[in-house]
Structure 1
Amino acid sequence: MCHHHPNQKPLYLLFAAQFQVLGSDHPITATVGGDVVLPCHLSPRMNAEHMEVRWFRSRFSIYVHLYQSGQDHFSSQMPEYQGRTEFLKGGVSNGNVSLRILRTRLSDEGQYQCLIKDGNFYEEATLELKVAGKAPEAGLPMRKASGFNHFPYEDLEILSISPV
């Protein structure tokens, strides 16, 4: 029998739904114009269909992608990601909550948070996305490269390619 103070929840309820959220220890690399998958999963592996999965950057309320109650939600999605995100539902029953970003832009580079909420319990992981095709120095002016029609990226702007 579980004895507890009237104002305190039993311990087994507090810890029943605990899990960790795991992303990637290394930066994910994308190419401008290509698609990239940001990996994220629950540990231990469990069904996340009924959980809230929120991918966001600096602000929690304006998200990159939100999956909640088994559906994608777009009402407060960051405008720059509209039509460019895909929550990979195929593995969600096994704890895989990865996100695909379509037609990657230079502005997509940076940190992403993958937050998973189950009832009152939540956990998150931080991932870093690097986008290739960037100018070597941030202050360097960029101009359209002409005569590179074999590149399938309309907005690819390169001055020089230097070793990373």
Structure 2
Amino acid sequence: MSALSILFLASCSVWLSEAQTEFKRVAEENVTLPCHHRLGLLEQGSLDIEWLLHVSETVQKAVITYSGGRVYDDLNEDQKGRVSFTSNFLAGDASLQIISLQSSDAGKYICKVKNAGQYEWARITLKVVGKVILLFFQGKKIARLISWREIYFSRV
């Protein structure tokens, strides 16, 4: 078999859909990290979906997975009870919902979808900023209340 034939076969078995996005959110808010795929229509029984959080260059934590017809959402103690797939992940929307964001949720997330020898993935950076409220006084009365969200997102 020629090198060109091998290259062609390899490119047919791996379809790569890679997107990189950055989200900025305030602590205690909710966020949905997008991950869309076209692999759910192939072989339903062999569909695997995995969300990973890169803690460092060498350490990854599994956040939520779907494998063998079952969702595993209690893999990461820090996010237990706060993560879920949104919508219909089997039909193409494997987006991750995280509720009540914490500073420890910040980092680089990877969504990997595999089915019948084909792969798709998305990379997302999540930044979580603290919740701060500034009070401006005029005499003894509060003149204005500004949340960190107003200040931070007006400069981004």
The structure showing larger relative contact order (alpha-carbon pairs under 8 Å, at least 6 residues apart) is 2
Q: Tell me, yes or no, if structure 1 residue 20 matches structure 2 residue 19.
A: no
**Partner SS state of residue 80, structure 1:** helix
1:14-34 superposed Cα distances (whole Å, 9 cap, x missing partner): 5555333344x4311222111
Alignment partners' CA distance in 1, 2:12 and 2:126: 33
Q: Is the 8 A contact 2:73 2:83 kept in 1?
A: no
Give the equivalent residue in structure 2 for 1:66.
65
Q: Tell me, yes or no, if structure 1 residue 56 matches structure 2 residue 49.
A: no
Alignment partners' CA distance in 2, 1:15 and 1:52: 20
Pick one of 106, 110, 114 that aligns with 1:109.
106
Count residues in correspondence. Answer: 131
**Residue identity in the other structure for 1:115:** K
Alignment partners' CA distance in 2, 1:126 and 1:80: 21
**Residue identity in the other structure for 2:26:** T
Alignment partners' CA distance in 1, 2:70 and 2:32: 19
Give the equivalent residue in structure 2 for 1:140.
none
**Residue identity in the other structure for 1:118:** N
Q: How does 1:84-163 map to 2 (within 5 A)?
A: 84-93=82-91, 95-133=92-130, 163=155
Alignment partners' CA distance in 1, 2:107 and 2:73: 21
Give the equivalent residue in structure 1 for 2:77.
79
Q: Is the 8 A contact 1:35 1:103 kept in 2?
A: yes
Is the alpha carbon distance of 1:80 and 1:34 closer, same or farther for their aligned partners in structure 2, counting shifts above 3 Å?
same
Is the alpha carbon distance of 1:96 and 1:18 closer, same or farther for their aligned partners in structure 2, counting shifts above 3 Å?
farther
TM-score, length-normalised on structure 2? 0.64
In proportion to residue count, which structure has more helix?
Answer: 2
**Partner SS state of residue 20, structure 1:** coil
Long gaps (5+) in structure 2 = 136-147
1:37-94 superposed Cα distances (whole Å, 9 cap, x missing partner): 000112xx3426541111111245x40111112321146x11101101011242531x
Pick one of 26, 40, 57 that aligns with 1:47.
40
Q: Is the 8 A contact 1:18 1:121 kept in 2?
A: yes
**Residue identity in the other structure for 1:87:** F
TM-score, length-normalised on structure 1? 0.61
Is the alpha carbon distance of 1:78 and 1:91 closer, same or farther for their aligned partners in structure 2, counting shifts above 3 Å?
closer
Q: Is the 8 A contact 1:22 1:41 kept in 2?
A: no
Q: Aligned-residue CA RMSD in angstroms?
A: 3.5
